[in-house]
Amino acid sequence: MMIQHRVYISTVKTIVDGKALELTEKGSALLTQIYRSHIGDYPKFFKMDTLCKLGFVASELLLNSEGDRNFEPREDRAIILFNRNASLQADTNYQSTIQDSENFFPSPAAFVYTLPNIVTGEIAIRNKYFGETSFIVIEENDEKLMEQNLSVAFQDTDTKSIIGGWLDCTDEEHFEANIFLMEK
């Protein structure tokens, strides 16, 4: 297994293949700035929760590093991401819509994002990937444990490459993505 490209995004910086992007915004505004300056053609972005926005922009930067993007269907690419907090931020937002029994108004828009695997689905849909998609919640950013899980995915002879890595978000101003494109 060999890492081809890597993207790191925190609330204050963005690095693509070792080179920092010149961005002025911080926190959630940083994700919108990355979207507007480097992607800009996926209106569903504005409906996503912070974890999904983070995964989406990180994967777009990663795939742009790969070169020519043709959005052709692929069955040989998996998406396997890890984090500690699952979809806690979206869960908290949804909880606020159902907490008050007198003003009970569950938000379907917030409920959609109460599963961490929504981000892997958005990446797969956008890029027409039909390989494995998994979001695994682990206690800490443990590279050895992540590598073991990714190795298992490569045991499937159809899987030739994986978008994998760490993608965690506690709220709109605290998040981290450290994802990579790995090939067999």
Phi, psi for residue 68 in degrees, rounded to 5: -55, 120
Residue 85: per-residue pLDDT: 83
Residue 95: per-residue pLDDT: 65
3-class DSSP assignment, residue 6: strand
Task: Using alpha carbons, select from 48, 109, 118 the residue that is nearest to residue 83.
Answer: 118
Largest CA distance in the chain: 55
Spatial distance between the Cα atoms of 143 and 141, rounded to a whole number of angstroms: 6
Burial class (CB in 10 A: 0-12, 13-18, 19+), 174: middle
Residue 68: per-residue pLDDT: 74
Taken in order of first residue, the domains within the chain and their CATH numbers are 2-183 (3.40.47.10)
Residue 67: per-residue pLDDT: 84
3-class DSSP assignment, residue 78: strand
pLDDT in tens, the chain (184 residues): 899 999 999 999 999 999 999 999 999 999 999 999 999 989 999 988 899 999 999 999 999 998 877 789 999 999 999 999 877 565 666 566 667 667 766 767 666 665 678 899 999 999 999 999 999 999 999 999 999 999 999 999 999 999 999 999 988 899 999 999 999 9
Residue 1: per-residue pLDDT: 80
Residue pair 77/142 in contact (Cβ under 8 Å)? The answer is: no
Residue 71: per-residue pLDDT: 86
Q: In sequence order, what DSSP letters do the residues of 136-182 get, joined into one string?
A: EE-SS--HHHHHHHHHHHTTSTT--EEEEEEEEEEETTEEEEEEEEE
Spatial distance between the Cα atoms of 123 and 60, rounded to a whole number of angstroms: 8
Tokens 């003003």 correspond to 103
Residue 73: per-residue pLDDT: 94
**Helix and strand element counts for the chain (H, E):** 6, 7
Characterize 28-48 residue by residue with b for buried, 16 or more Cβ atoms within 10 angstroms of its Cβ, and e for exposed: bebbebbbeeebeeeeebeeb
